[in-house]
Structure 1
């Protein structure tokens, strides 16, 4: 076989390889109006706050024209199992999903690791995305990952603690060791509360199974409990409340869904809105927006939420101003 023939064969093989790569998955430019994108949504675990984010993501995608037969959504719930996160993330990759949405930090981290820069990942309500290594910075993510961050308004939460129990001196803060966002918020609240004069004690759980024992220890040592935006704590909220109620200890949580589960009051950032904005961003990325230069949207504005039934159970009279604020622009559980 002469050199000329070998050269010709090599050129043909190279051409076919390039053609295969180009046609294996439609690009933003080559997609037609009839192309139906696949979006994978990976949620860490079932609980009301994350469920609200999921609902918001779907609505946000719909606002961008992606609903019904115009999109294929593959929703997966890992039920707090790390091995499930890995398997489900790989499932999206195997399906050549056009984009994946991660609800909660562990889900987002798993998606980002599996995608390895090859396909877009949208964050939905991730605390401290830069600190967790998901983006280079919130202003310029610099890679294939962007989305929404639901930072807790910690100073406002401390104000709620003061208004609910003005005499409290000892503050217990509980978080999950494997939840980066929970630890981040807990330690930041510790600094803020110590500066305000509180005697602060941190308590940790490794899994929701630890909550009973840790909560019993904490309830005997503090005047009030702060439960940060933490997936493990949120999932075990009812167990925490069962213990603190016995000692008449109020719990100030980070989000409204945790107030519904027995917290007494908070200023809550809308979890639905966090998801909705992530869905809008996902839709725009599907239309061609570059994630690398698409700033993370941080949502911090929140509304007052109170649980009057819980306040009565604990014998606490909430300030009229708090209740009125919740009634006018917020949420009241009775």
Structure 2
């Protein structure tokens, strides 16, 4: 039975829905986990330093496919480790610029997957945040230094966009649950009016912690992951990560049935979800304009 190694930065208990979507993708390709293939799931809980050992072990054992949905660090580690084993990635940045593929239409080597535009839409999310919070001028930005590619992409995008919106940015770093807690403790002293959470798999898995702290400290926050909005964060804007897992599952199944990564074009996310937590807005004393509510894909009452 072929073995697939799947790696992601989230916690295992935060990934149940994603596993279901990955299996749905396999099913759409005509395969069933446990019958047609075995999947080894590695949930890092933000411990990116474990990637070399996990990927190295998969390469030594010549697994059939390495899947790295919604994980730029995992995708880059896999690409650096093997030019032979097929890789199906999900990255929030341009996969051509990352060196994962030669082009979107013709990947050309052993890797293909989906670009879900996490970093490319940072400036768009900042603009929506500014529209929702026109009086907020000092924004805290939380980035994960253990995910440097994404952190640097977010930093650059926001620094480029902020002057045009009249915003001052204050950058904070966190790569563990304790460091997230510590970062929140400094926001008030820095007189931050609001918080921009960089797209990151570990942050996404800590959505309940982040939402709880934001609610406690009464700080309006913006996230890429919509899960945190359901927990109490003010807004999110991003792509559906569950669907990224499904599409990765489809490509993994296609490769196991004989397709070559070089011949499978890189997919690009086309649906972006803007979600507002109106209950959180009321609690924070924020008036959300009717025009902004009308543009939201979902409003949590």
TM-score bracket relative to the smaller structure: 0.7 to 0.9
**Contact 2:21-2:243 within 8 A present in 1 as well:** yes
SS of 1:70's equivalent in the other structure is: coil
**Contact 2:6-2:66 within 8 A present in 1 as well:** yes
Does residue 333 in structure 1 map to residue 265 in structure 2? no
Can you list the C-alpha shifts for 1:133-157, whole angstroms capped at 9, x where unaligned? 4334444433211111211333431
- Shift of the alpha carbon at 1:236? 4.0
SS of 1:42's equivalent in the other structure is: strand
Which of the pair is proportionally richer in helix?
A: 1
Partner of 1:6: none
Distance in 2 (CA, whole Å) between partners of 1:185 and 1:300 is: 20
- Shift of the alpha carbon at 1:299? 1.1
Going from structure 1 to structure 2, the CA distance change for 1:47 and 1:145 (only over 3 Å counts) comes to: same
Does residue 148 in structure 1 map to residue 118 in structure 2? no
Partner of 1:296: 266
Q: Cα RMSD between the aligned structures?
A: 2.7
2:180 aligns with one of 207, 211, 215: 211
Does residue 197 in structure 1 map to residue 166 in structure 2? yes
Does residue 166 in structure 1 map to residue 134 in structure 2? yes
Can you list the C-alpha shifts for 1:210-266, whole angstroms capped at 9, x where unaligned? 222222223342212111211233344444444444543200111211222332112
Does residue 123 in structure 1 map to residue 89 in structure 2? yes
2:197 aligns with one of 223, 227, 251: 227
Partner of 1:43: 8
- Shift of the alpha carbon at 1:50? 5.6
Distance in 2 (CA, whole Å) between partners of 1:166 and 1:47 is: 38
Going from structure 1 to structure 2, the CA distance change for 1:194 and 1:250 (only over 3 Å counts) comes to: same
**Contact 2:64-2:85 within 8 A present in 1 as well:** yes
Q: Structure 2: give runs of 5+ residues left out of the alignment.
A: none
**Contact 2:101-2:107 within 8 A present in 1 as well:** yes
**For 1:96-115, what aligned pairs fall within 5 Å after superposition?**
96-103=62-69, 104-114=71-81
Going from structure 1 to structure 2, the CA distance change for 1:88 and 1:260 (only over 3 Å counts) comes to: same
**Contact 2:211-2:228 within 8 A present in 1 as well:** no
> Structure 1-normalised TM-score?
0.77
Can you list the C-alpha shifts for 1:101-128, whole angstroms capped at 9, x where unaligned? 01312222333333x1121011034434
1:187 aligns with one of 144, 152, 156: 156
Partner of 1:78: 44
Number of matched pairs: 295
> Structure 2-normalised TM-score?
0.84
Can you list the C-alpha shifts for 1:73-121, whole angstroms capped at 9, x where unaligned? 222223333454333324433443211101312222333333x112101
Partner of 2:145: 177
Going from structure 1 to structure 2, the CA distance change for 1:112 and 1:237 (only over 3 Å counts) comes to: same
Going from structure 1 to structure 2, the CA distance change for 1:49 and 1:295 (only over 3 Å counts) comes to: farther
**Contact 2:48-2:146 within 8 A present in 1 as well:** no
Distance in 2 (CA, whole Å) between partners of 1:169 and 1:133 is: 36
